[in-house]
Every structure is written in structure tokens, then in C-alpha cells.
Amino acid sequence: MPIPATSDREYYHGDRHFEYWLSGIDDCLKIQAACPEVPLTGARLLDFGGATGRVSRHFYLQGTLSEVTLCDVDINNLAWVLEHFPSDFGAFKNSWVPSLPLPSEHLDVVIAFSVFTHMNEYELAWLYELRRVLRPGGVLYVTVQNDETWKILRSTVLYDRVKDFESFRVAWEEGRELVDRLVVEYSDEVVHNCGTFHPNAYVRRVWGRVFTIVDIRPLRHAFQSAVVLRKDA
């Protein structure tokens, strides 16, 4: 399972290839620590928006899961995975419209890194679709840009991307709290066209209608925090 070239991994970590590999196993271990009640032996996992397998490769190589699958909206990412990963590593291209070609209650764990941070109008529909494919007791591990991100935003590369847009300037003042979900549209593309911020209060109030909020863990993925959600029976 080779390391993808910089251009084949959405430029994660530039040309620092070993750092890219380490970041994947670090996030893999953080997921396991956050979901101790989910037995991973024999489990089925979906890497939702997984690009070229930065994290899911490490779950696969542990050899304890019965099924590891990756999906992504970028056909180039999918082509790379199909060419370089073993044939029993599942992969498919998903649409930006909320629909997955998986049976209901099929999965034990879904992970989504830097996916809901670029999502606008279909956010809730995707949460319900992911809930559908998870078994009762299954866990969804999602990274978000939340209150903790907002506090350190000026020190991140994200600030330079959003600082000149009116929707951001209206919400941003030094020291001002993130009071509601904020979407900053910075592109006319169909996907990856915005930066989305999720206050903890919003996650609990809105996402809590779909899942049980197990925990919100600050700054677990660079400047993004991790939300651990569980599908109850």
C-alpha cells in the first residue's frame, strides 16, 4: 500500500511523506481511543470522504476488521485507491447528493475527516443517511471546525482562505464567539466550495436530533475538533 504522491492526497503534508503516514496512524489510534465500546474485531468500517486512504489504510493493515471501505466524491482519488490498494479494500465514488449504495444497519463505524467542514445544504440529509447505514450502537467519528477552532483561527491557514469574504467578516471580530453555524462560500464548484463552522451548541442541538452526542474532543485533527456520535436503537 504505497504512499500517494502529494498531488494524489489533496496536498496533505506537502512533500513530508513520512509525516503523512504518521498523521494517518495517529488519527486511527485517536478513533480507537474515542470508541472503546465498539469491538473492532470483525467490524465493518466506512471512511466517508476518505480521499486516498490516509486513515483507513491503517485500519485495514491491522487485519482485525472484516470490512474496510472508502468512498469519495473525487473520481481521481477513487482511481488511485483502485490501482494501488488490495482488491479486498472496498472503494466507490459517492455523489454529493446524500445516498450510499450500502444496506441499512451494515456498518459498525463511519469516519469522516474534513468532510462536514466543506458541507452546506445537505448536512442533515447526510447525517441521516449515515445513520441509516450504521447498526444500532454504531459510531460516527466526524471532524468539525468548532468553538476551539474559532479561538485560534487567526493562527491557521484557514483564516487566510476565508478572511476576505463578507459572510465571514460579518461574523468575525477579535474575541467574538462563534454563535451559530457559519458557512463561508469561496468557490463556485459543486463540492469543496465552502468552509463550514459548527459551534458546539449547534452540534448538540441539531446533530443531537439524529445521533446521541457521545463527546466533542477539542483540536484532535490539527485545528479541527472531533465529534463522536452514536446511533442508539
Complete DSSP assignment for 150-213: HHTGGGSHHHHHHTTSHHHHHH--TT----S-EEEE---SSSS-EEEE--HHHHHHHGGGTSEE
CA 194 from chain center: how many Å?
15
Q: What is the pLDDT of residue 190?
A: 65
**What is the tens place of the pLDDT at every residue in 26-39?**
999 999 999 888 88
Longest Cα–Cα distance of the chain, Å, equals: 50
What secondary structure letter does DSSP report for 2?
P
Given a contact cutoff of 8 angstroms between Cβ atoms, the answer to whether 199 and 102 are in contact is no
91: which strand partners? 70
Question: Would you state the cell numbers that stand for residue 22, as one nine-digit string?
Answer: 504518521
Nearest to 1 by CA among 62, 43, 45, 49: 62
Given a contact cutoff of 8 angstroms between Cβ atoms, the answer to whether 118 and 192 are in contact is yes
Q: What is the pLDDT of residue 233?
A: 78
Q: What is the pLDDT of residue 186?
A: 85
Phi and psi at 39, nearest 5°, equal: -70, 115
**What is the tens place of the pLDDT at every residue in 163-188?**
999 989 989 976 789 999 999 998 77
Across all residues in the chain, what is the average pLDDT? Answer: 95
Q: What is the pLDDT of residue 203?
A: 98
Q: What is the pLDDT of residue 173?
A: 79
Q: What is the pLDDT of residue 99?
A: 97
Alpha-carbon distance 164 to 183, whole Å? 14
Q: Which residues contact 65 (CB under 8 A, 6 or more apart)?
A: 40, 41, 42, 43, 44, 45, 59
pTM: 0.96
Given a contact cutoff of 8 angstroms between Cβ atoms, the answer to whether 12 and 23 are in contact is yes
Phi and psi at 224, nearest 5°, equal: -100, 150
Q: What is the pLDDT of residue 174?
A: 67
SS3 of residue 42 by DSSP: coil
Q: How far is CA 30 from CA 60, 78, 214, 221, in A?
A: 16, 25, 15, 9
Q: What is the CATH number of domain 6-230?
A: 3.40.50.150
Q: What is the pLDDT of residue 97?
A: 93
Low-confidence stretches of the chain (pLDDT < 50) are: none
